[in-house]
Amino acid sequence: MTATRPIAVSLGDPAGIGPEVIAKCWAGRHELDLPAFVAIGDPRSVEAVWDGPIAVVDSPENGFERFDEGLPVIPIRSGGEITPGQPDGAGAHCAYDSLEMAVGLTREGAAAAVVTGPVSKKQLYEIGFTHPGQTEFVAERCGVSKSNVAMMLAGPSLRAVPVTTHIPLSEASEALTVDLVASRGRAALRGLIRNFGIEKPRLAVTGLNPHAGENGALGTEEIEIIGPAIDQLRDEGWDVVGPLPADTMFHDRARAKYDAALAMYHDQALIPLKALHFDEGVNITLGLPIVRTSPDHGTAFDIAGTDQAEPTAMAAALICARDAANCRKALAQAGRTGMAIGK
């Protein structure tokens, strides 16, 4: 990461806890050893929950220069009043515009990485946001097909990637295909090399059904879809095991055997991750030309404005973004892409 390129952080929904956790990160930047960052969003959303110094800036470079003066914020004004815990349409537009600018600044190279603050999917859907989440939005802005990115939730002792993400559970089984499972698996494996520097990544793949289908007696997705996708990845030279029963894949001894778990649906991956690491979980989008991370938690409207929000997951997202950017830089300097083992 070059000296003048901070991380761009979109503040997320102005009525959520994004403004509070990023302000707390700035206040704790020395103890937490955080990289320089510039926030993007409405400065009033920070003022509503924090009485520390704010430096209104006009570019990431300017934010970097003034980082020690106050929390640097590139302003995106919300059209309405901001009341913590009470989201509205104007706030959703502000969250959307902040996200757009943070991604744009990172894509053009003015910022080293993007960290996205928590948004309310419901509020965004109501103003016409057509993507299931920020993951797919960033993928589209980067020109990457949504099936070639993967949403990884990462904590100190578990990394988990769901194949299907923000769709109703009743549709998850229908959405699984050999190609989708294989492409998410490939994105996960490449992502482990490119963002975490793991030279020979090991992937463990869950089944969908109880006991991974019990040899077809409890469901056939393992035989017809997940198994063939694993075979494809193995044929490409990747170290992949599965399909394994999901209920026995996440205890301590099991987790020691793999670098990431590929799960079939959202909660199959996110429940173990959040049970183990809610306060330090990071959401990282794999398969992008830029680095994008986010804290694992949401908008927490129930506690916004009450000074109860823990900044630790946001701090972990900043550190993960810095480390991933540095990892990619080191690979590039070695003339490598990180797209396959040894490559």
Ligand X SMILES: NCC(=O)COP(=O)(O)O
Per the annotation, binding residues for substrate are: 135, 274, 283, 292
Beta-carbon contacts of residue 338 (< 8 Å; ≥ 6 apart) = 190, 193, 194, 328, 331
Q: Closer CB to ligand NAI, residue 239 or residue 279?
A: 279
Q: Using the rule CB under 6 A, which residue among 198, 303, 340, 341 binds ligand NAI?
A: 303
Report the C-alpha gap between 46 and 55 in whole angstroms.
Answer: 11
Q: Which residues between 123 and 142 bind ligand NAI (CB under 6 A)?
A: 134
Return residues touching ligand X (CB under 6 A). 133-135, 151, 270, 283, 294
Choose from ligand NAI, ligand X, none: what does 297 bind? Cβ within 5-8 Å by kind.
ligand NAI
For residue 122, the partner it binds in ligand NAI, ligand X, none, with Cβ less than 5 to 8 A by kind, is ligand NAI
Decide: 38 and 64 in contact? Cβ < 8 Å: yes
Decide: is 107 part of the binding site for ligand NAI (CB under 6 A). Answer: no
Q: Cα separation of 40 and 106, whole Å? A: 12
Binding at 318: pick from ligand X, ligand NAI, none (beta carbon under 5-8 Å per type) = none
Task: Quote the least distance from Cβ 297 to ligand NAI, whole Å.
Answer: 3
Q: Which stretch binds ligand NAI (CB under 6 A): 68-76, 153-161, 224-232, 295-303?
A: 295-303
Which residue of 58, 199, 252, 302 would you call a contact of ligand NAI, by CB under 6 A? 302
Asked if 165 touches ligand NAI (CB under 6 A), the answer is: no
Residue 299: name its binding partner from ligand NAI, ligand X, none (Cβ under 5 to 8 Å by kind). Answer: ligand NAI
Does residue number 122 form part of the binding site for ligand NAI (CB under 6 A)?
A: yes
Shortest separation between residue 162's beta carbon and ligand NAI, angstroms? 13
Between CA 180 and CA 164 the distance in angstroms is: 9
Q: Confirm if 316 and 310 have CB atoms less than 8 A apart.
A: no
Within 197-240, residue ranges assigned H as helices are 221, 227-235
User: Quick check: helix, strand or coil at residue 295?
Assistant: strand
Contact 128, 137 (CB under 8 A): no
- Please identify the residue of the shown chain whose CB is closest to the bound ligand X: 133
Rounded CA separation 33/319 (Å): 8
- Closest by Cα among 112, 159, 110, 152 to 135: 152
**Residue 300: contacted member of ligand X, ligand NAI, none (CB under 5 to 8 Å, by partner type):** ligand NAI
Per CB under 6 A, the segment of 143-151, 201-209, 233-241, 309-317 that binds ligand NAI is 309-317
85 binds ligand NAI, rule: CB under 6 A: no
User: Using CB atoms, what's the residue nearest to ligand NAI?
Assistant: 298
Min separation Cβ 281 and ligand NAI, Å: 10
Name residues whose C-beta falls within 8 Å of residue 313's C-beta, 6 or more positions apart in sequence: 21, 278, 279, 280, 281, 282, 295, 296, 297
As a whole number of angstroms, the distance between CA 219 and CA 241 comes to 19
Q: Which residues are annotated as a binding site for a divalent metal cation?
A: 166, 211, 266
- What is the side-by-side order of every strand in the sheet holding 260-263? 54-56, 71-75, 37-41, 7-10, 114-116, 292-295, 282-286, 150-155, 158-162, 260-263, 202-206, 239-244
> Kindly report the CA angle at 38 between 32 and 40, in degrees rounded to 5?
125
Residue 299 interacts with ligand NAI (CB under 6 A): yes or no: yes
With CB under 5 to 8 Å by kind, the binding choice for 142 among ligand X, ligand NAI, none is none
Binding partner at 135 among ligand NAI, ligand X, none, C-beta below 5 to 8 Å by kind:
ligand X
Neighbours of 68 (CB within 10 A): 12
Q: Which of 78, 106, 120, 209 binds ligand NAI (CB under 6 A)?
A: 120
Taking the least distance from each CB to ligand NAI, the nearer of 145 and 308 is: 308
Residues that bind ligand NAI (CB under 6 A): 17, 21, 118-122, 134, 283, 294, 297-300, 302-303, 308-310, 313
